[in-house]
């Protein structure tokens, strides 16, 4: 099969077809309207701001005049390791409600053939958290198991259910810290993106102090805030002096999910634990915006799970779920 020309693959026993426009410098847009709201990181406009290391391939499952599923993969000519996503917290296939493993098989059958045509030897897939779309995530996991993918990484991903009161879910120790923040006059603020250079320096210093991965380069963050002003937010906890005690970049990943992307607080603030107050602010903001989930992310260090951070998220009343990464030799 040639990957330089568009091609279609008929899903066995069904009408939908996979349309793939061939490799390009960035993710291709669908031909037909999506039958689902795309996760922000999988939207072509967002992927266009993720500098690729090689050609990008897009695959869309079409059912008549609707697009009912999507998959994007980045080929790497130097290493032969293709990735989905190229640069983003997660990728994999996204399905319209009601689709199952057959849709995933159709997308990956086309993707694997096209990637082999580009001399790619392996495909790595990082899935989205199960709490975003339990049925879709389960279909992706089962189809990839059937296709011979191995689970390369299984991470605990924690989230808060916004239907539940924030304070009521806190461990007594965290409830005391929340009250302590109030007694010390700490407040949550939504900051203007003009503060991004200072905020980036603050977040970078805090994450280095705690042995966590550094954030995206400032120029990338500024481009994302500029391109998606309704989806990227900067929240802080300020002391009465006006100084920051905690900061985070929050991302509206979908209509129902707010992602606490880069929470940061210096070790000197551990006694107050202003991140408890910061999450209360995010919880209130997301709830008022009609969302259902506050994603607190995973807690993985290079050497393994960050046990203290996992405990902290449980103390916030968060629910544990899965985020899986897979790999397969092509």
Confidence at 211, pLDDT banded by 50, 70, 90: confident
In this prediction the pTM is 0.91
Give the whole-angstrom CA distance, residue 147 versus residue 142: 9
Reported as a pLDDT band with limits 50, 70 and 90, residue 298 is confident
Examine the pLDDT at 216 and tell me if it is beyond 70: yes
pLDDT tens figures, 77-106: 999 999 998 888 898 899 999 999 999 999
User: Any idea which residue has 């906890």 for tokens?
Assistant: 237
At residue 5 the predicted structure's pLDDT band, cuts being 50, 70 and 90, is: very low
Residue 4 has pLDDT above 90, yes or no: no
Mean pLDDT along residues 36-46 = 92
Mean pLDDT of the chain: 91
Nearest alpha-carbon partner for 201 in 209, 272, 237: 209
Q: Give dist(CA 128, CA 108) in Å, integer.
A: 16
Integer Cα distance of 306 and 299 in angstroms: 5
CA 58 to chain centre: 18
Which of 267, 142, 161 is closest to 209 using CA atoms?
A: 267
Q: How far apart are CA 235 and CA 200, in angstroms?
A: 12
Report the interhelical angle of 101-117 vs 134-146 (nearest 10°): 50
Q: What is the mean pLDDT of residues 98-120?
A: 96
pLDDT reported for residue 48: 85
* Weakest-pLDDT range from 98-107, 188-197, 307-316: 307-316
């Amino acid at each position: 099969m040639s990957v330089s020309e568009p091609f279609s693959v008929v899903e066995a026993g069904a009408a939908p077809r996979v349309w793939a426009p061939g490799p390009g410098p960035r993710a291709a847009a669908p031909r037909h309207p999506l039958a689902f709201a795309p996760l922000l990181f999988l939207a072509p406009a967002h992927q266009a701001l993720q500098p690729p290391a090689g050609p990008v391939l897009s695959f869309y499952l079409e059912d008549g005049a609707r697009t009912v599923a999507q998959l994007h993969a980045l080929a790497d000519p130097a290493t032969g390791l293709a990735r989905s996503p190229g640069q983003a917290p997660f990728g994999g296939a996204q399905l319209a409600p009601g689709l199952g493993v057959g849709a995933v098989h159709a997308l990956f059958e086309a993707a694997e053939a096209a990637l082999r045509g580009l001399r790619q030897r392996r495909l790595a897939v990082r899935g989205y958290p199960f709490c975003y779309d339990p049925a879709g995530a389960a279909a992706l996991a089962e189809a990839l198991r059937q296709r011979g993918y191995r689970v390369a990484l299984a991470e605990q991903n924690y989230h808060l259910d916004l239907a539940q009161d924030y304070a009521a879910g806190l461990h007594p120790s965290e409830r005391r810290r929340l009250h302590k923040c109030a007694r010390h006059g700490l407040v949550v603020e939504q900051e203007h993106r003009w503060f991004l250079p200072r905020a980036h320096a603050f977040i970078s210093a805090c994450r280095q102090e705690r042995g966590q991965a550094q954030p995206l380069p400032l120029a990338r963050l500024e481009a994302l805030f500029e391109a998606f002003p309704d989806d990227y937010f900067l929240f802080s906890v300020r002391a009465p002096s006006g100084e920051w005690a905690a900061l985070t970049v929050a991302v509206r990943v979908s209509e129902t999910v707010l992602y606490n992307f880069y929470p940061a607080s210096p070790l000197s603030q551990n006694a107050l634990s202003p991140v408890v107050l910061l999450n209360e602010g995010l919880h209130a903001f997301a709830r008022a915006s009609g969302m259902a989930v506050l994603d607190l992310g995973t807690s993985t260090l290079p050497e393994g799970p960050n046990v203290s951070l996992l405990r902290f998220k449980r103390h916030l009343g968060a629910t544990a779920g899965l985020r899986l990464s897979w790999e397969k030799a092509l």
